[in-house]
Structure 1
Amino acid sequence: MRLIDGEHLDTLLGERDFDIRKSHNARWIDQKCTPDVVTIIADCILEFLSDKEDDTIFTSMDIWHNDYTVQNVLDIFKKPSPKEKSARNEYDKFFQQPMGMFSYAGVLEKHKKGNRNFYKLSEKALLEEISLSERNALKFLIKYITKVLCDSDIYYLFEEFFRLQNKDAYNNLKRGFTSFTQAFTPINGDTEVWRIFIKVINPLAYSKNSAGTERGMLSKDLITYDMLMYNRDNFRDIYQRKPKGITRGSHVTPSLPRAKYIQYLTDKAMKNVKLINRFYNFGLSEVAGDDELATEAHHIFPRSDFPQIAYFLENLINLTPNQHRNHAHPNGNYSVIDREFQKICLIAKLGTIRKSIENNWGDYDFNNFLFVADTGYSTDIFSKIATFDYDNVISKINLI
């Protein structure tokens, strides 16, 4: 896996010529191509295709009329139902723009018939990785944007801005990007170009720990993660990784809309933990002793008792049906937890996390694991452990 961080994405992008002066494609990126939107559109596409052949042809309407999409877009992005006729134009943009970007990048393959766009998967594994998290979507966007700008021979304008970080360099970049876009694409108006400009400059600014653009001007401060999102004030406190030092009490019980989003995150995490295990562990159990395939994702600390950590990958472990139904939940009673096996699962998960971190797979977070352990055991001893002190974590688990 790790196609985004490894050579696969670099090779994929390197094999394509993204020069806008040749393609005249104004929609290589657009307003809705933010990390949070891109990752959920990737997830919705994969969910739509989950019971279909990989070469299935689909349209954006197929995706946004799928029940899974309807439920989650309503809950997450506070949109009207995709089934309402009045919402069609909004959903066309919401889905077409990221899908258009995916097709230009080579992740999807697009064919046009009349005025309709038809798609099929081209890079399933890469789309799966993008669907895992906003962080992955952002990494993809940064590499993709950089390659397009380099191929179009305008990256030097951005380099100059990031080097100088002043108003003159910002205005020069904005004018240059506007003139270039209007000269080589069908876009004529300044406002439309500037809306796209935001989605180009700010991911790069974030990656370089630099100022970018805000409210049409040079930002006063460095571009932060939340500034890149479509819903800047929506659920940031829930699904952004919790930094070490924040108490469990600060991670408050969410309101009903947020609870729905947590349910989406939990369902998605259960899918993703299986996907990660399939790539890195051949689909086997994370707990040694059973040679069957691990087809079930188990919450180490039950989600009914600990909803605040139900969506953490670090609280989910891949088990075989036998391990899940007879060891984790004795006699198949899902209301009962075997505490000794829970400890075994927790230590086994720590082993998976250690392997992920040491191999730079990037899917798990050590501090998230400490938060999970503190929450599940109703303590604060794990948050005091030094980063990557795995032996101390195991010692504390055994003591408890």
Structure 2
Amino acid sequence: MKSAREEKVQRLGVVSVLLVVTVLLLTSVCSHFSRPAQELIPDRSKHSGHEERTKQVVLWTMMRSGSRMTQAMLKALPCTFLTEEPLRKRSPGGPQFSVQLLKDIFNCRFSQRPDYFRYWVNGSLPNDYNVKGRLCAVFRQLCWDARLTDAMCEVACVRLLRVVSVDLGETRTLLQDPTLNVRVVHLVRDPRALMASREKLESLSPTYKVFHDEEMNSTVICNRYMRDLKSAISLAHRHRSRYTLLRYEDLALQPEREVQRLYKFLDLPYNVQVANTVTSHTLGFMKDEVWRKDPFSTYKNSSATVFAWRGEMDFSEVTRLQQECGVVLKAYGYRTFPTPHHYHDPQNTPLLPLPPLL
């Protein structure tokens, strides 16, 4: 049996290792880039009040809306801590459970959520690269210590969450919480393109069902769009400085302009590292052909593929979706096609100027 002195020495040793690993990881993050760390990490000394705190950003959207590519650009700063899809298949307690889990993640309370932390570390989603890509690859046992992940989360300059599975209305509680400093990036995509993307992904996986039946039901999808639209109008009115709408099509066609707008909204520096990330994910020349054709890849020629769904969806399905999602299409500035000729004419772009939500 160990003496009290031996136990104390062992505990000190573990703490020392954790500190050394954390320092090494943070050092490697900064030294990995050619720009000085001071230029990559926001200078918090220039701000006061809420702005002194770590930026808490939630990317709120639906599956197959371009959220992975958008996420890649939002996490371009190496001091970002990422959590992906924490609510997908994990909402047994309804909205109250969902919101509390998001709050705990924003407050770096992984050690208080052992069941979720096991899923976070061991699940298929990449989540934060500094933890799962670096720490887990070198120190597998330490990677299972939630306290270290808490620490990595706490020192981040940005805590980014991507949410795809629940209604936008659940952000209200986050925005009303005075202990949080959350900003919402609401990503939308043309419902016709979203459905075409889901159908294509299902056809590529005949032995594995990617989506639940309701996630392939156009009525269910359009109802979700309508609920989110109502919430978007309310958020744009009540939380104008902390909510922004982003159309995937605008990001695909004008990536530099849109990412600069997002970084200004989030009060984050748009630097060389961010600009390089935007270029590599939207011009389509940074990866090989196999990678670019991967349906989950975020590296593509975004402007060339953004309207590819028009060659994959027949006009009868387009008509049905336009009938069910007509209000949403109009509200978000998407053109409807009255005839097959109008639909197939390449001069008739699906994208129109974005109308004001209010």
Q: TM-score, normalised by structure 2?
A: 0.31
Could you say which structure has the greater relative contact order, defined with CA pairs below 8 angstroms and 6 or more residues apart? 2
Q: TM-score, normalised by structure 1?
A: 0.29
